[in-house]
Amino acid sequence: MAFVTDKEELKPGLVIFRRGDLQTRDWYCRVRLPKATRYKTIALKTADITTARTLAYDHESEIRFSLKRNLPVFNRPFSAVAKDYIAEQRLRAQRGEITMGRVKLIESVVKNQLNPYVGKTQIDLIALDRWQNYPSWRRSLSPGRMTRHGNVRPMTDAERDAAKTLADAKAKQKARTIGKQTTETPGPANTDWIIVSDATIRFEMKIYRAIINDAVSKQEAPPHHRIEGMPALEKQRRDAFSLEEYRRLHTHARTKWVDAAKTETARWYRAMVYQFVLIMCNTGMRPSEARNLRWRDVMEATDKNGQPVTVLSVRGKGKSRQLVAPSGNVGKYLDRIRAIALSTAPEAPVFSSATGTTERTLYKAFIADLLKDARLRVGPSGILRSTYSFRHTYATIRLTEGVSELLLAEQMGTSVQMIQEHYGHVDTIKHADLVLHGMSDWEPRESVVTTEEKETVQVRRAARAKRTTGPRKPH
């Protein structure tokens, strides 16, 4: 049976018809939008053809009136509009404009966060205030990644109220489901509340905004519902390692952690991880770039002063670039990996597994174990450190040493704006002597040196003292 039956064209772009897949004899009309290939289908809810014709003309007039005044002509829920948006992003991925991984991420955000928030709300009713209230709702919805890692803080009054409201709503929904009423009002399990990171909320709100603005461009939502900018959420930095912490991590891995492996395979992995950490902290590579690195991407060169440098051709985030590192350390670390690698063929991965394949997780479990063993797993802000912390360590140390933001941005494959946003705090530390100059209780302190450097200085001072205590030669 055909889907459309009894079709009658009232005028170009306006038809009425019955649906062959339904038992009802009611009429429907379909209106073609001017200067577009889209149609709006409306149930007329009448079986009388004369009434159906009149209603069809009325609906067409209403649609033309709405279009003339830039009013929405579709009355669809957010979930349906988001579904169309995801389909469009999937087509973009097929054209190579974005990755399919990003499409899956967008789909996950829509399914797990946005649809529970506004999925059933008509798209033309979602205004700016609903978007601005998303962070409060999101923090009360689920604990997020930081919760699973055990980072906690006391709830604020606003968050406690939001959590209680959500718990009450869930309790009422459960009561309706089982057909009973309950007087129990569950609240949060305790007063420690672990929140989802602001970076995650910001990413989700960008997807939310894109869907709303896409609906506005398609005239499914009014123009004044277009969303611009982002709310002023706090930007969380992943904790880098200070120079002292980096030295402690480096020493602990070399002198204790690697040798403590219980099997040959574990020792191989720990030796590889140790060199991996050193290379990441001395190059600023992204984890994705390290995962893609092949031996053919490594070459030696000299700078304009004739100094040897190691050049790495890296690929990640859909882009490729070259970064440079001193051969004296990074080149040496790569040589150590060559000595234990199963293969150093041009196409073989630099950071491989014990079987020679690409290490997809980049030794995630081993790095977590090393940081925990060295008592450096949790940073000063209470956030767990990860592989990405090595990139932040590189950036922080380079800026502290006086490297310009422009050169660092080029080296790290990012923008100057991103450097300023994430590492602006480094300038304050770097120029502390200038900022505090002239204060009565401020005296510049000597730079931190290692124990070995201190011992060397003490030996040299003792030698000088011994020479000066002897008899002076006559002039």
Give 368-393 pLDDT, tens digit per residue. Answer: 999 999 999 988 877 788 898 999 99
Q: What Å distances lie between residue 166 and 114, 163, 170, 191, 424, CA to CA?
A: 15, 5, 6, 15, 38
**Residue at which a domain ends, from 333, 365, 390:** 390
> What pLDDT does residue 146 have?
41
Asked if residue 179 has pLDDT above 60, the reply is no
Where on the phi/psi map is residue 285: left (φ > 0), alpha (ψ -120 to 50), or beta? beta
**Residue 174 pLDDT exceeds 60:** no
Residues 249 and 218 in one domain: no
The boundaries of the domain holding residue 32 are: 4-68
Q: Single out the residue in 28, 46, 68 at which a domain terminates.
A: 68
d(CA 210, CA 356): 42
Contact 79, 115 (CB under 8 A): yes
Structural domain contains residue 16? yes
Quick one: 383 exposed, middle or buried, by C-beta within 10 A (0-12, 13-18, 19+)?
middle
Task: Give a three-class secondary structure readout of 346-402.
Answer: CCCECCECCCCCECCCCCHHHHHHHHHHCCCCECCCCCECCCHHHHHHHHHHHHHCC
pLDDT at 118 (0 to 100): 92
Averaging pLDDT over each range in 70-74, 225-229, 238-242, which range is the top one? 225-229
Are residues 83 and 48 part of one domain? no
Average pLDDT over residues 207-216: 93
> Residues 335-355: what's their mean pLDDT?
94
Please check whether residues 249 and 386 belong to one and the same domain.
Answer: yes
The pTM (predicted TM-score) of the whole model is: 0.53
Residues 77 and 117 sit within 8 Å (Cβ to Cβ): no
Q: In what order do the strands lie in the sheet with 298-302?
A: 298-302, 308-316, 319-326
Does 231 map to a domain? no
Residue 415, domain member (yes or no): no
Query: 93 with 148, same domain?
Result: yes
Q: Is the pLDDT of residue 350 over 60?
A: yes
Q: Which pair of tokens denotes residue 327? A: 């051969």
Say how many C-beta atoms besides its own lie within 10 A of residue 429's C-beta: 11
Strand partners of residue 414: none
pLDDT for 3: 75
Tell me: do 384 and 278 sit in the same domain.
yes
Cα 243 from Cα 263, distance rounded (Å): 32
Q: Which residue has the tokens 């880098």?
A: 240
Going by pLDDT thresholds of 50, 70 and 90, the confidence category of residue 114 is very high
Residue 143 has pLDDT above 60, yes or no: no
Residue 330, amino acid: V
Percent of the chain surpassing pLDDT 90: 42
pLDDT tens per residue across span 459-469:
555 555 554 44
Q: What is the pLDDT of residue 165?
A: 59
3-state secondary structure of 232: coil
pLDDT at residue 150 above 70? no
Least confident of 33-47, 68-82, 147-161: 147-161
Q: How confident is the model at residue 36 (pLDDT cuts 50, 70, 90)?
A: low
pLDDT value at residue 279: 95
Q: Domain check: are 50 and 103 in the same one?
A: no
pLDDT tier for residue 177 given thresholds of 50, 70 and 90 = low
Interval 177-188 mean pLDDT: 43
Residue-wise pLDDT for 255-272, tens only, equals 999 999 999 999 999 999
Provide the pLDDT for residue 188: 36
Which of 50, 68, 86 finishes a domain?
Answer: 68
If residue 303 lies in a helix (H) or strand (E), which one and from where to where?
none
pLDDT digits (tens, 9 = 90+) for 300-333: 998 888 889 999 999 987 788 899 988 888 999 9
Q: Are 328 and 286 in contact (CB under 8 A)?
A: no
- DSSP label at residue 135: H
Say which residues have a Cβ less than 8 Å from residue 195's Cβ, sequence separation at least 6.
Answer: 139, 143, 144, 146, 147, 153, 159
Question: 106 and 147 share a domain?
Answer: yes
Q: State yes or no: pLDDT of 151 exceeds 70.
A: no
**pLDDT higher than 70, residue 474:** no
Q: What is the predicted pLDDT for the residue at 453?
A: 44
Q: Which residue has the tokens 């204790």?
A: 256
Q: Is the dihedral of CA 265, 266, 272, 275 positive or negative?
A: negative
Do 216 and 163 touch, CB atoms closer than 8 A? no
What pLDDT is attached to residue 227? 92
Looking at residue 183, its pLDDT comes to 38
Report residue 415's pLDDT band, with 50, 70 and 90 as the boundaries. Answer: confident
- 310 and 277 share one domain: yes
Distance in angstroms (rounded) separating the CA atoms of residues 117 and 208:
10
- Check residue 296 and give its pLDDT: 96
Q: Are residues 63 and 87 in the same domain?
A: no
More confident residue, 194 or 430: 430
Number of structural domains, the chain?
3
Mean pLDDT over each residue of the chain, to the nearest integer: 79
420, 410 in Cβ contact below 8 A?
A: no
* CATH number of the domain bearing residue 333: 1.10.443.10
Give the model's pLDDT for residue 294. Answer: 96
